[in-house]
Structure 1
Amino acid sequence: MGQGNTVRILDGNTFVVCEDTGDIEATPSEPTGLFSIDTRFLSTWVLSVNGERLNSLSYDDLQYFESRFFLVPGMATHYVDAKLSIIRERVVGGSFREQLTILNHDEKAVDLEVRMDAASDFADLFQVKDEILNKKGEIYTEVEADKLRLGYRRGNFRRETIISSSVSARYDSRGFAYTIHLEPNQQWEATIDVQTRAVGPGDRDLRMGLRAHGGERLALQHDLEQWIADAPKVNSEHGRVASTYRRSLIDLAALRFSPLSLGGATLPAAGLPWFMTMFGRDSILTCLQTLPFTPQLSKTTLRILASLQGSRFDDFRDEDPGRILHEMRYGETAAFEEQPHSPYYGSVDATPLFVVLLDEYERWTGDVALVKELEQESRAALRWIDSYADLIGNGYIWYERRNTETGLENQCWKDSWDSISYSDGTLPPFPRATCEVQGYAYDAKVRGARMAREFWGDPEFAAQLEREAAELKERFNRDWWVADGGYYALALDPDGRQCDVLSSNIGHLLWSGIVLPERAEQIAQHLVGPRLFSGWGVRTLAEGETRYNPIGYHNGTIWPFDNSFIAWGLRRYGFGEEAATIANGILDAATYFDGRLPEAFGGYPRELTKFPVEYPTACSPQAWSTGTPLLLLRTMLGLEPHEGHLAVEPRLPVGMGRIEVLDIPGRWGRVDAFARGRLDLHSLAD
């Protein structure tokens, strides 16, 4: 049974946001519609019977790609007397398909006028998000005997929605209708197909070749079953772990996105509804989270990002040679360069993370061929770190947008306008350097050295990278350490002044390995201490900081993905208990969201709320939140590649019980891992 009055179904490149009746009535405050490749292809889709709108009895979320709506005419007080049942079954795949069934429960025959109002504003997703609809082209409607064609054209940019029915319908400029006669206990059915087209030069559909199933439910179901069958199996005494894992696996399948013109290969889209597209940082981090479970995503992600790696200097797109893209869009505003996402390169961390993922992928899978295939792209990424990212010339990665109109100000993962501050709450000038990115650069150099020595046949380059990594580690631990606080600063300003707030970013430093061993315990204690750890998870900004706000986007909320990497970092430095504490909090929180962790939730203390408070505009599902339970499983079981084998060193939270992960894929073939947590003796005593 679905919850609330908004229904979302999706399949990679296409998704629908509608009311619990199945209707779509887009308004600035209700961003519903049928969306694909950053365009809204349906903004109105309203069903009526005899001129009367319908009311929802219930809806079922059957799978991520299908829903079923049970409706009756009349107001809620008339449900008991309803003589008609209307069922809408909807599947979203390569197209949008809706089966409409009407059942007559009356003792006498009925004549019905069934109508579907249909329209499209062809709004760009950025226009929907910003609630600004400024169309500069022409919207047109073509009524044909067997179909209705809605379209939009602006120069060579053309988008079309083509509507047809399995049962003869009367089409007009506002939709289509049926006149039907039903005897007692008789039912009527019609299947409505909605095809979306992105037309380029030569009348060619740009969406050809994408992973698509023509809206066929059986093909989509088979694809999902195969996806689940290929992944490891997770069983646990504590039901939340297995159920959350399965929910994550299904959502990850739903978020597989096929970039245009790249042969149908898939990578994780960032999240629904605003970020159903390719992102550098989001896709890479999601792949790192899910590598032990779905390694094929990492391979395609690396190849796709490598194929679009920056090759020139372009201020509009913040592009440099070797830089990995931040975001790719296919809508009207990108096509006409009203915003730079075609693609946009304004990410300061995707480039070192690209090298990190490639090395981690090889360590896990043994796929040396891909490491050799992407050697030049990896070298270009490593070159970017020193040649183009060091804007100050002091050996750190800095960022400052060159596109001052539409580029991102903050190009780290905490990309909201006020996420980087001094302890007094003021914001630093640009350029800025955030701490976790220096850790990523260190990690990229260490991993790049391994690949250069073992696979690229270049020991001199390997030695150079190792020297640079060691120098970076020494310099970083000198310049970023907040001595009177016992933690690392969030960022430096161009004068070298520390943004000396306590933040979750310090956990990423553990993951990257840049933290000095003698300082690791202080960092670990901060991460599970009362200022950062709420009981549900680690806050993005510590309680007591000037800008702290438990529902501030990056200033006090809890981001599940952030916590998964923090826990992984704690395990790297030997803090298994602390990692288990964080894993336990996040997995507990997941149960309140039916196993689907949102993008972020409130940083209120656990003893205050008793349940996690969802951030009001959080994406759900969201890729790196979907990947969070998978990385936490890896962390709790201590799964790490070691000398060609899989090492297992469990540290489960108290009371977790037995967990088994079966058929873990890797260079070792497929192996199983088992773990048992300690009993909660206090709970047993109670």
Structure 2
Amino acid sequence: MKELISILDGNTFLVSDRHGNIEPALDFPTGLFSFDTRFLSTWLLLLDGERLHALSMDDSESHRTRYFLVPGEPTHFLDAKVSVIRSRAISGSVEEELTVLNHSGQPMTFTVRMEMDADFADLFEIKDTQRKRGQHTAIPGENTLRLDYRREAFHRETVISSNTSAQVDPSGMTFSIQIGPHGEWTTRLTVSTMIYGARGEDVRNRLPFSGNRTTAVIQAEHAEFIAKAPKLSCDHQPLSRAYRRSLDDLAALRYESIALGVRLLATGLPWFMTLFGRDSIITSLQVLPFQPELIPPTLTMLAGLQGHRLDDFRDEEPGKILHELRYGETAGFEEQPHSPYYGAADSTPLFVILLDEYERWTGDEALVKRLELSVRGALDWIDTYGDLLGTGYLWYQTRNPKTGLENQCWKDSWDAISYADSRLPSFPRATCEQQGYAYDAKLRGARMARLFWNDPEYADRLEREAAELKERFNRDFWLPEKEYYALALDADGTPVDALSSNIGHLLWSGIVDESRARRIADHLLGPRLFSGWGVRTLADDQGRYNPIGYHVGTVWPFDNSIIAWGLWRYGFREQAGQICESILAASRYFDGRLPEAFAGYERDLTEYPVQYPTACSPQAWSAGTPLMLLRVILGLEPQGEHLIIDPHVPRGIGRVELLDIPGRWGHADALGRSRNRNRNDAAG
């Protein structure tokens, strides 16, 4: 069982098992991590040579946790004469307080042993058996163990110290202790991580929010973040709990970029504690009505790292917005192309969409003017490098067949794009939702050009191109015999005919002809795609369907939030509410924290949502999902200097009240109530 222990603004995080131990694992990366490097790979507590077993655990706060442990097998717990408390907090460094309690009436002696090691593995190496190329050293000192790794200029170090006397060796610390009757013994272990730069100092020292801050400072920052968010009062406990948990997780997922020293949202723990183009943009769209101040740093960072050259290794092209930014060893030595990597075809139009949506909410025209060249570059990329075949569609094919991503859409696993009969299409590929994003980006680019850049001719051109794209798309992607849009086009222009959740993104973008929207809504809520817990990524009668396949049958909360928004946009309020209800119902089984994905089994079959085995949790766009669902439920939409509130609350949710919604209007309040069988009105 994996157990998330703590996070501090995304910069440093620790993952352990349910006993508080860290051991090298192939199936899940336990350890202490900072900026893509594992600084602890072993942290194993032994009492008289035995492992301990957990009685209970308190992990209610994101930055600290506590374990209550006893020796022996579970059947012997009641006879335990000794117990151990592990109290752990993370605040730049990690502090763990070990307390051993003697419950007998006699003095007792114990040997407390902490096994320690750091493999300094890059996240890309966690599942790789390749040996590290640099040099490891372990240097015991007085109550201190220094673990060091060097490879040319790449230098990382872990320093572990104890505030009590210890026997230190290259693989850990040993404490020989004696405790009086009903007495206790305590030591504090401190684990510091070092990321050395060219000048021999920790590069994080120059970041404004990094460093060894106190728990009180972290709690104050966390509380301030939550206090800025709108206040939710509602009758529906799952919604209330999910909203609070989402705010907690979003506060914890903030991290600082070494590149610019700005605070961003990391994408998800443990694999994605960094900036992603697509994920960060969609999370920003979700949180915009609640925490708009998070958006400018993300847009500015993405614009600053926008592609400016042709680089096959990194899939970089002029105007393209990055996919992923990494700081680890494999990126630094160009064994992976993630410094940054540009292998996504959708992050570029989504960048344009986010900037326009942000201005519509906040009225921040200064940012729109400042990023004009970046937006123009992004729109140019859609029509040039993005249109690989010159057909007017957005295509993708990696320039780097060795380490580049094959699929460069949000479903980026190797088998995610397939025909209904399970065959895989040729490259390049043009997935349907990316055409919708391109359509929306052109319309939003036209709005910004007309209102803020004083370029009506450019605006007219973009609107004309958007209209042509919509007409062309509805001709080439529509499958008349199946009455839904193809998942993609292959290199020959043949429709890839699988039925997938991607068609819900088309509703959100507005590219769907009004005459066809009803059929799309029917498919999304039909038994092939809708599990009862949400819309599956792939319909259950398709050749590659697998309810526990990463992108071929699981339910993704963020995907469903986009689908709900799309249904709302086309006026399918009941169907949007059905999505909201199903996802919120699922959140109850995850303690309010929606995971990256969960299995696509029928709700009637399992009666609870089945966990996906390696889902990230917390993950930013899953944490953002309850916020997006609240926007849909309350019908929140900016209109000039006003916020339109048009609630349609699903049955069973009752009263929903959201106070102090920030925007260009100042602050607004929204109220909605569930409709019942005898009334067709809603309060708002």
1:586-616 deviation digits (Å, cap 9, x = unpaired): 1111111111111112222222221112222
Of 615, 632, 639, which residue of structure 2 is paired with 1:618?
A: 615
1:503-554 deviation digits (Å, cap 9, x = unpaired): 1111111101111112111111111112211211111112222222222221
Of 214, 221, 245, which residue of structure 1 is paired with 2:243?
A: 245
Q: Does 1:201 align with 2:190?
A: no
Of 51, 60, 63, which residue of structure 2 is paired with 1:62?
A: 60
- Once the two structures are TM-superposed, the CA of residue 189 in structure 1 deviates from its matched residue by 2.4
Q: Does 1:158 align with 2:155?
A: yes
Name the counterpart of 1:51. 49
Q: Does 1:189 align with 2:186?
A: yes
Correspondences of 1:139-154 after superposition (within 5 Å): 139-154=136-151
Aligned to 1:188, the other structure's residue is in SS state strand
| Contact 2:553–2:600 (CA under 8 A) maintained in structure 1 | yes
Aligned to 1:153, the other structure's residue is in SS state strand
Q: Does 1:408 align with 2:400?
A: no
- Once the two structures are TM-superposed, the CA of residue 680 in structure 1 deviates from its matched residue by 6.1
Name the counterpart of 1:305. 302
Alpha carbons of 1:27 and 1:488: their partners in 2 closer, same or farther (altered >3 Å)? closer
Q: Does 1:350 align with 2:347?
A: yes
5+ residue gaps, structure 2, are 680-684
- Once the two structures are TM-superposed, the CA of residue 359 in structure 1 deviates from its matched residue by 0.5
- Once the two structures are TM-superposed, the CA of residue 403 in structure 1 deviates from its matched residue by 0.4
Q: Does 1:590 align with 2:587?
A: yes
Of 602, 608, 618, which residue of structure 2 is paired with 1:605?
A: 602
Structure 2: distance between partners of 1:658 and 1:640: 20
Alpha carbons of 1:251 and 1:681: their partners in 2 closer, same or farther (altered >3 Å)? farther
Q: Does 1:285 align with 2:306?
A: no
| Contact 2:93–2:212 (CA under 8 A) maintained in structure 1 | yes
Structure 2: distance between partners of 1:158 and 1:296: 35
Q: Does 1:120 align with 2:88?
A: no
- Once the two structures are TM-superposed, the CA of residue 681 in structure 1 deviates from its matched residue by 7.6
Bigger shift: 7-16 or 427-436?
7-16
Alpha carbons of 1:681 and 1:177: their partners in 2 closer, same or farther (altered >3 Å)? farther
Name the counterpart of 1:366. 363
Name the counterpart of 2:482. 485
- Once the two structures are TM-superposed, the CA of residue 246 in structure 1 deviates from its matched residue by 0.5
Structure 2: distance between partners of 1:209 and 1:22: 32
Name the counterpart of 1:568. 565
Name the counterpart of 1:417. 414
Q: Does 1:334 align with 2:331?
A: yes
Structure 1: distance between partners of 2:540 and 2:87: 47
Structure 2: distance between partners of 1:546 and 1:651: 37
- Once the two structures are TM-superposed, the CA of residue 398 in structure 1 deviates from its matched residue by 0.4
Alpha carbons of 1:480 and 1:88: their partners in 2 closer, same or farther (altered >3 Å)? same
Task: Read off the aligned partner of 2:222 and give its amino acid letter.
Answer: L
Structure 2: distance between partners of 1:108 and 1:376: 76
Correspondences of 1:205-284 after superposition (within 5 Å): 205-210=202-207, 211-212=209-210, 214=212, 216-263=214-261, 265-284=262-281
- Once the two structures are TM-superposed, the CA of residue 663 in structure 1 deviates from its matched residue by 1.0
Structure 2: distance between partners of 1:242 and 1:384: 42
Aligned to 1:108, the other structure's residue is in SS state coil
- Once the two structures are TM-superposed, the CA of residue 487 in structure 1 deviates from its matched residue by 1.3
1:149-198 deviation digits (Å, cap 9, x = unpaired): 10111110111001112234332212223333332233332222111111
Aligned to 1:592, the other structure's residue is in SS state helix
Structure 2: distance between partners of 1:29 and 1:477: 43
Task: Read off the aligned partner of 1:664 and give its amino acid letter.
Answer: I
Aligned to 1:425, the other structure's residue is in SS state coil
Structure 1: distance between partners of 2:28 and 2:552: 27
Correspondences of 1:70-149 after superposition (within 5 Å): 70-128=68-126, 130-149=127-146
| Contact 1:213–1:219 (CA under 8 A) maintained in structure 2 | no
Name the counterpart of 1:377. 374
Structure 2: distance between partners of 1:604 and 1:74: 38
- Once the two structures are TM-superposed, the CA of residue 498 in structure 1 deviates from its matched residue by 0.4
| Contact 1:657–1:679 (CA under 8 A) maintained in structure 2 | no
Aligned to 1:327, the other structure's residue is in SS state coil
Q: Does 1:439 align with 2:433?
A: no
Structure 2: distance between partners of 1:356 and 1:5: 37
Structure 2: distance between partners of 1:51 and 1:423: 56
Alpha carbons of 1:114 and 1:604: their partners in 2 closer, same or farther (altered >3 Å)? closer
Of 462, 465, 472, which residue of structure 1 is paired with 2:459?
A: 462
Structure 1: distance between partners of 2:71 and 2:529: 52
| Contact 2:204–2:211 (CA under 8 A) maintained in structure 1 | no
1:50-81 deviation digits (Å, cap 9, x = unpaired): 33332221111131111101112333343223
Task: Read off the aligned partner of 2:94 and give its amino acid letter.
Answer: F
Structure 1: distance between partners of 2:273 and 2:421: 37
Structure 2: distance between partners of 1:459 and 1:6: 55
Q: Does 1:510 align with 2:501?
A: no
Q: Does 1:521 align with 2:518?
A: yes
Bigger shift: 25-34 or 117-126?
25-34
| Contact 2:145–2:168 (CA under 8 A) maintained in structure 1 | yes
| Contact 1:571–1:635 (CA under 8 A) maintained in structure 2 | yes
Task: Read off the aligned partner of 1:481 and give its amino acid letter.
Answer: W
Aligned to 2:433, the other structure's residue is in SS state helix
- Once the two structures are TM-superposed, the CA of residue 105 in structure 1 deviates from its matched residue by 2.4
- Once the two structures are TM-superposed, the CA of residue 5 in structure 1 deviates from its matched residue by 5.9
| Contact 2:95–2:191 (CA under 8 A) maintained in structure 1 | yes
- Once the two structures are TM-superposed, the CA of residue 414 in structure 1 deviates from its matched residue by 0.8
Task: Read off the aligned partner of 1:280 and give its amino acid letter.
Answer: G
Aligned to 1:203, the other structure's residue is in SS state coil
Q: Does 1:545 align with 2:542?
A: yes
Aligned to 2:591, the other structure's residue is in SS state coil
RMSD: 1.7
Structure 2: distance between partners of 1:575 and 1:102: 60
Correspondences of 1:644-659 after superposition (within 5 Å): 644-659=641-656
Aligned to 1:135, the other structure's residue is in SS state coil
Aligned to 1:207, the other structure's residue is in SS state helix
1:62-121 deviation digits (Å, cap 9, x = unpaired): 311111011123333432232322111111231211112222222233333322221111
Name the counterpart of 2:471. 474
- Once the two structures are TM-superposed, the CA of residue 370 in structure 1 deviates from its matched residue by 1.1
Name the counterpart of 2:682. none
- Once the two structures are TM-superposed, the CA of residue 384 in structure 1 deviates from its matched residue by 0.8
Structure 2: distance between partners of 1:134 and 1:483: 54
Aligned to 2:204, the other structure's residue is in SS state coil
Query: What TM-score, normalized to structure 1?
Result: 0.96
Alpha carbons of 1:303 and 1:30: their partners in 2 closer, same or farther (altered >3 Å)? closer
Aligned to 1:525, the other structure's residue is in SS state helix
| Contact 2:143–2:164 (CA under 8 A) maintained in structure 1 | no
- Once the two structures are TM-superposed, the CA of residue 320 in structure 1 deviates from its matched residue by 0.5
Aligned to 2:26, the other structure's residue is in SS state coil
Identity of counterpart residues, as a percentage?
A: 60
Aligned to 1:393, the other structure's residue is in SS state coil
5+ residue gaps, structure 1, are none
- Once the two structures are TM-superposed, the CA of residue 254 in structure 1 deviates from its matched residue by 1.8
Alpha carbons of 1:679 and 1:655: their partners in 2 closer, same or farther (altered >3 Å)? farther
